[in-house]
A = this chain, B = another copy of it.
């Protein structure tokens, strides 16, 4: 168990609780948030906290899996918004004080399997 792991667990718990002051405290002042799928970036604690605070919908999040090194952590999270469910994968980097200095999110969507591989796969 590393400090950054605990910080990231708090990050998600405070987001779920809409405790934006405590959420902001997990972040470095110059945190950078990156969404490679949309090529969006958000710079700074205030903007990134506001982005989360403004995020629309009655969303709820739980950690499905977490993998942690001392200075980097990955979470696989499960989100629900009403009846809709989705997954996110987030890569966190920590700074020397144990705060989160970078977050990179991926939001994978369901898709239909390509043809020609059902001799190897089963559906669940």
Q: Which residues of A pack against B, CB within 8 Å?
A: 34-43, 47-48, 50-51, 54, 56, 65, 67-69, 72-74, 76, 87, 89, 91, 106-113, 116-117, 120-124
Measured CB to CB, the nearest residue on chain B to A107 is B108
> Who on chain B is nearest to A72 by CB?
B67
What number of copies of this chain does the assembly contain? 2
Question: Given contacts A37-B111, A47-B120, A106-B89, are A67 and B68 in contact (CB under 8 A)?
Answer: yes
The contact sample of 20 A-B pairs, CB cut-off 8 A, is A35-B113, A36-B108, A37-B108, A38-B112, A38-B123, A39-B110, A40-B113, A40-B117, A40-B121, A40-B123, A42-B122, A51-B121, A65-B72, A74-B74, A76-B91, A87-B106, A89-B106, A106-B108, A108-B108, A109-B109
